[in-house]
Amino acid sequence: MAILIWIGAAMAAAGLGGLIWCIVQALRLRRQAPDAEAARRRLARLQAANLASVALGFLGLALAAAGVILS
């Protein structure tokens, strides 16, 4: 069951990396201050990436927890 823990930890780390990337992109968007429509399009894509990162992190933590419970 150790493999579940390691895979879960890798997934959780990837999710955390995705969240950090989303934060950096949002801060760059704020500094650039594009027009409203361009900002809305970029934020829509960023929102999807943020949701995917949170989901990946959650699934990774759940997988790691399952590995710990089954060990």
pLDDT of residue 61 exceeding 90, the answer is: yes
Q: Per residue in 23-59, pLDDT tens?
A: 999 999 888 877 888 888 899 999 999 999 999 999 9
For residue 39, the model assigns a pLDDT of 85
pTM: 0.82
The number of distinct structural domains making up the chain is 1
For residue 50, the enclosing domain spans 2-70
HEC letters along the chain: CHHHHHHHHHHHHHHHHHHHHHHHHHHHHHHHCCCHHHHHHHHHHHHHHHHHHHHHHHHHHHHHHHHHHHC
